[in-house]
Structure 1
């Protein structure tokens, strides 16, 4: 639960113009009293994304996403609720003062703060060791052998974890950090995972330490480079997944590269930290790297905030090519264009820069090939294009990648280009692409968020939904429905969505203040929020909400009676009924019928009584009727 007061959230929402906010991310055009545009959350040709100024909310009729300004920032920027509120608050100048309202949330916040303190102070400690300790001379020599000096180490806060691990544990103890915090940060591990009292071991030993920062510059993990060969351990050891460090969300050096990426209108995605650092040291500051070569959907979404173009620069071997293809798949699903640099054999960005300089490397970036050209050129060089059968196999591989493209116009262009490159007819390319499009698409590297089921709106009966809509649009309707609370509660046995309506009546958000309504919606479960947001955008506001509520309550009563009648008739079919039970059910049936007769004729709603089947009318009868 958020620890930001409800009043502050309402102030933030009241001070935010949702049209201005969303218009800074999405191109909007006026449509009646609202605005429309192409949805930023799914790919579409015709705009189904609506922004309603009077409600200060948005809704997409294509993918179902919607909500207030906070919901938009949460979804678009992939931020937690409180971070989204803070971002908006900073935008509109509303101060945010958090309150202690949830012990668990407070504990998690304090733990995160302690872990960030530990990582920050660890970075400073091991950096000082690298610069000054006599025992770190071999680490300084290694950096020198790679062409890096003290200045680079200081700019990137490079450190050295000593071989004698007592140095680090004694330092941590002096700083009042606990063993549990060391384990929680990933700097240490339990010697026996099943026994918290087994003692801890330090994860890094005699390694050159590269701090890994999130996109706002906090140190959240480390990558430790081996300095003395040890076959029992890898060349690089990275921090494990922790409350701070989720490798699927982190791009190395993004905190430094954000502005250069915006300026260059493209990101340079490399394989490792040394390559990225070398690029930055040579003035190519749009360089970043994933943790390993695996680009995830979260990485793609993160990059989409800053650019629509990525240049891949991986090693020129089979592993690098596989990584490039997987990265292309993730990036293109987010609508990011992908080009590829192919370095000379045996080179990586660091070695190429040292041998040929920054201008030559910029030339490689400028001449980077479109991904499909890179793929076909590589297949040609390996002899895989020499026969029609092998070209058809390449076509199927390309079609599988075309199928995940989010932009259909770009897909069409690429199909024509591939037909020319593969010496095949365009109809053949289209055929294999259409076949690939029919296959279910999946992410190569699912994240925690993407593997969990997508939230499904809470089922709400149409009539109950109309009452929810009316209650959120009129304080008088809220008062009237509150007086019918018992009737509504009993209807919950037959109609879906009554608990959601009861929640509205209990919270009584002020319909005259969109910020109050949106703040109320923001604190609901995701399923409930989606359901209400869809209802609020489904129909135009009623001119007379009170009259509509009386009419809708009558509809609700009729639906409940019909449900009771159907249940009663089903129970009467039970051959084992006692005489007393039979008599009771017959009397109840008469009462239900009497009540139904009272509501019939007051209104006609197909949602309550299904229309009678229409008898086909012959053309001759049409003429008679016309006369």
Structure 2
């Protein structure tokens, strides 16, 4: 394992907000940042990120932690793998890297990704070789119009025509190559290269890790697919990834929208033409996982699929996925026979910008194409349209979308809207107009914080010294937070400071505090640390809380004195009764003074208000 000093150095060199923004779009909110949580279906920003504290927490699903936990969860890595990846990014040399690999499991993903990297370099060298890769190079640069800079940017390569060229290049890695989907097994038991005589497109995760490859056929042979993706592997699940997403992150952040295309070359040509917000679904209709991935970064998506029947069907399915993910979807209608790649190469980037400006809202595209497909079929066609819309609406959570579909359908079919609503009733369990149920966590908001939580909040913000808390409180006075407070007091006494959880040493103390807590207590403390501020005047609020604490202590002392007086009276000890009553009078006066200071009064029933 990395040493505590190495972990601290990695944290110090990295900005958690910058790391999180590689995966989701973040927005400033006071001292913290907000984003839609990537760990659950987040309809509104529930993830809070603190640059100062180096922590993140989702108030919807409870996910949270520091920069290492974020990378572990988002990239599905072990702790040693996350540490190594971040250490490599910032140039921290780990003195004991071998210990992190002792179990073997922690290094498995790194080994697979490392071999993918070596394979990518092999394919790139093939493309650059004058004899071997000339045909592929000419295809990319002369036929498809890619510049050498673009070829290098996307690390394009070439797989030769032989059946075992890759196997012979990596003879000791044949089983691993098979696991990665680069090698297949024939019925005879013989292994062979899966990608042969193809332009190679390396596929990267959103974090930049090389996870898979795809190939475009160069030969005229029609018995093999034009495009071939590798099979799913431990690193790659096709329906969960978008080609070009890691390169598109700056464009998505800048434009606040995505251009969704089908193919690899569509995406590369668009990026070369200045459309850096383009991503690709890799030749198939968009999946639910890909739509949710997009939802992390943008709120609007333009679909640029081919206009043929297959492209239109893919656009329909993509619309459904985007809508269910909570995205605004629009469809850019390309000229017949054109795809984004050919349009930009033949007519230029301005032609595509004009088409994007005229893109149709999703409802309009869906209904117009549906009507066009059934034009001239009379009543029978109308019945088929209604049946298709019922199927499309079934399970659709977006209430505005259901209304738009029904209104648009009533207008286009010249039928009463109420009758169409009635026709659609069976599409949903509770009817077409059933309200959408929002998913949400049960985390307590800051407005529901109790006395103990508010005191801890000011400790966490560095506005109440730890020593002051220790002077006035015992851990037992914090109820369900007593173990959390006891841990803080012990840490403070061990380290003799820092005095407050602010300044350069504060985050380190907070990390040590969290590390000693149970997972449940750690989640509670992290959520409290990143809660919204409720008090505009923290100094006044702290003063009131401390006065309230003195009042509580006085009230406890009065209850104890009343108990002792009753015991002394039963024992007939007049002297003890008189002494205790004098103490009771003094405590009562102090209570009255405290009540005036905090502005509390007694109600007619004798309770405090």
TM-score normalised to the size of structure 1? 0.60
Aligned partner of 1:361 among 338, 347, 352 = 352
Cα shift readout 1:265-290 (whole Å, capped 9, x = no counterpart): 42211111122223334444432202
- Pairwise mapping of residues 552-591 of structure 1 onto structure 2 (< 5 A)? none
Label 1:504 to 1:122 Cα distance change in 2 as closer, same or farther (>3 A). Answer: farther
Asked whether the equivalents of residues 287 and 318 of structure 2 are also in contact (C-alpha less than 8 Å), the reply is yes
Q: 1:155 to 1:544 in 2, by over 3 A?
A: same
Go from structure 1 to structure 2 and tell me whether the alpha carbon gap of 1:517 and 1:436 turns closer, same or farther (over 3 Å shift). farther
Residue number in structure 1 paired with 2:246:
255
Distance 1:59 1:423, change over 3 A: farther
Corresponding position of 1:435: 431
Q: Which whole-Å CA distance do the structure 2 matches of 1:526 and 1:242 have between them?
A: 32
User: Is the partner of 2:341 in helix, strand or coil?
Assistant: helix
Which aligned pairs between 1:235-384 and structure 2 lie closer than 5 A?
Answer: 235-383=226-374
The 8 Å contact of residues 507 and 520 in structure 1, kept in 2 or not, is answered as no
Structure 1 distance, partners of 2:471, 2:77, is 31
What corresponds to 1:396 in structure 2? 390
Q: 1:243 to 1:300 in 2, by over 3 A?
A: same
CA contact (8 A) 1:186 1:203 kept: yes
CA spacing shift, 1:5–1:522, aligned 2, 3 Å: same
Distance 2:151 2:46 in 1: 51
User: Which residues in structure 2 correspond to 1:58-137 (within 5 Å)?
Assistant: 63-65=60-62, 67=64, 70=67, 100=96, 103-104=100-101, 107=104, 110-132=107-129, 134-136=131-133
Going from structure 1 to structure 2, the CA distance change for 1:477 and 1:295 (only over 3 Å counts) comes to: farther
Closer, same or farther: CA 264–66 of 1 in aligned 2, 3 Å: closer
Q: Counterpart of 2:4?
A: 5
CA distance in 2 between counterparts of 1:305 and 1:325 reads 22
Picking from 156, 159, 165, the partner of 1:158 is 156
State whether residues 296 and 327 of structure 1, in contact with CA within 8 Å, keep that contact through their aligned partners in structure 2: yes
2-side partners of 1:389 and 1:217: how far apart? 49
Q: Find out whether 1:179 has 2:195 as its counterpart.
A: no
Counterpart position of 2:570:
none
CA RMSD for the aligned pairs? 6.1
Q: Structure 2 unaligned runs (5+)? A: 444-450, 461-465, 493-498, 535-540, 557-609
CA shift for structure 1 position 391? 5.3
Preserved CA contact (<8 Å) 2:10 2:92? no
Deviation string 1:344-391 (CA, Å, 9 cap, x unpaired) is: 444322334445443323322221111111001101111269545455
After TM superposition, give the deviation of residue 338 of structure 1 in Å: 1.1
| TM value normalised by structure 2 | 0.61
- Which stretch shifts more, 383-392 or 338-347? 383-392
Q: Distance in 2 between matches of 1:299 and 1:263?
A: 20
Secondary structure at 2:236 match in 1? coil
Q: Separation in 2 of the partners of 1:76 and 1:27?
A: 23
CA distance in structure 2 between the aligned counterparts of 1:97 and 1:211, rounded to whole angstroms: 28
Deviates more, 1:333-342 or 1:531-540: 531-540
Residue by residue over 1:427-453, the C-alpha shift from the partner in whole angstroms, topping out at 9 and shown as x without a partner, is: 66777587257599999xxxxxxxxxx
SS in 2 for 1:220: strand
Counterpart Cα distance in 1 of 2:347 and 2:271: 15
SS at match of 2:431: helix
Structure 1 unaligned regions, length at least 5 = 444-453, 458-464, 485-494, 554-627
Q: Secondary structure at the match of 2:367?
A: helix
Distance in 2 (CA, whole Å) between partners of 1:245 and 1:13 is 32
Aligned: 1:25 with 2:26: yes
Q: State how many pairs are aligned.
A: 508
Match of 1:169 in 2: 167
Q: Displacement of 1:312 after TM fit?
A: 0.6
Whole-angstrom CA distance in 1 between matches of 2:173 and 2:156: 24
Does the 8 Å CA contact 1:119/1:219 hold for their aligned counterparts? yes
SS at match of 1:160: strand
Find the aligned partners of 1:162 and 1:478 in 2 and give their Cα distance.
Answer: 75
After superposition, the C-alpha distances for 1:25-46 in whole angstroms (9 at most, x for unaligned) are 34647xxxx999897676679x
1:213/1:220 contact within 8 Å kept: yes
Matched, 1:207 2:190: no
Are the counterparts in 1 of residues 61 and 441 from structure 2 also a CA contact under 8 Å? no
Q: Distance in 2 between matches of 1:360 and 1:440?
A: 39
Change beyond 3 A, Cα 1:329–1:366:
same
